[in-house]
Structure 1
Amino acid sequence: MTSPTAPPQHPVTTNTWPILPLALALLVLRVFGDHSWAYWAAAVVGGLGMIGTAIEIPRAVKRLLARRRSLAASWTIVLLTTACVLLVIRLAES
């Protein structure tokens, strides 16, 4: 007897990995913001996070328009956009 196979389960991911370098850059600015090396380190690490954000936001918009996991896609867009804006504001203040 053969049993019908269930469709493969896809892991629920929101593709928010760029938040890690963005959060690290914000943390470095928060803790060591008065040192010039911290500014440059945050700019480099944050730049990598922004490149990742530039890759992941169009993917999230594509999922949102396709109405697939629209809540997760909306969360990804809001989270990454907010982190990028905060990082640019913190770098501009320094």
Structure 2
Amino acid sequence: MREQTTAHAEDQTEAQVQDQPEASVFSSTLSLLLIGPALLLLRFWGEVTWVYWAAATLGVTGAVIAVFEFVAAIRSLLRRSRMLASVFAAAVMAAGVFMLGVRLSGS
């Protein structure tokens, strides 16, 4: 009886995982909508104080969001689902946050 209950619970768990909609690659890199403009502001108008602080605010907010998205990408990698998309999202977010740090520290 216990084996049947365990098998039934595993079937329900697999059904729940299959019912969840998969997020697209673009929804897992939404933090770049904040990091990208911050990098552009720093690149072209980084000498102006208020632009520097506006870019820093946008960039740090994007970096905080990227941390959560990075964890979700790694979790997806560990589950071996959508591995290419997870690697892409993790690499793009890591590169964006790294470049933001370089730009903020160099300005």
Q: Common fold, TM-score beyond 0.5?
A: yes
Q: Which one is further off, 39-48 or 10-19?
A: 10-19
Which structure exhibits the higher relative contact order, with contacts defined as CA atoms closer than 8 Å and separated by 6 or more residues?
1
Percent identical: 33
Task: Give distance in 2, aligned partners of 1:16 and 1:77.
Answer: 8
Write out per-residue CA displacement over residues 63-88 of structure 1, whole angstroms, 9 at most, x where no aligned residue: 00100000000000000000000000
Query: Which letter maps to 2:24?
Result: T
Task: Give distance in 1, aligned partners of 2:66 and 2:22.
Answer: 20
Q: Extract unaligned runs of 5+ from structure 2.
A: 1-17
Q: Calculate the TM-score normalised by the size of structure 2.
A: 0.76
**Which structure has the highest helix share of the two?**
2
SS at match of 2:24: coil
Count of equivalent residues = 88
Q: Which residue in 2 is equivalent to 1:53?
A: 66
Structure 1 or 2, whichever has the larger Rg, is 2
Aligned-residue CA RMSD (Å): 1.6
Correspondent of 2:49 among 30, 36, 39: 36
Task: Give distance in 2, aligned partners of 1:46 and 1:33.
Answer: 13
Q: Calculate the TM-score normalised by the size of structure 1.
A: 0.86
Query: Which letter maps to 2:106?
Result: E
Write out per-residue CA displacement over residues 15-74 of structure 1, whole angstroms, 9 at most, x where no aligned residue: 100011000100111121110111101110001101101110010000001000000000
Alignment of 1:13-92 (within 5 A): 13-14=24-25, 15-92=28-105
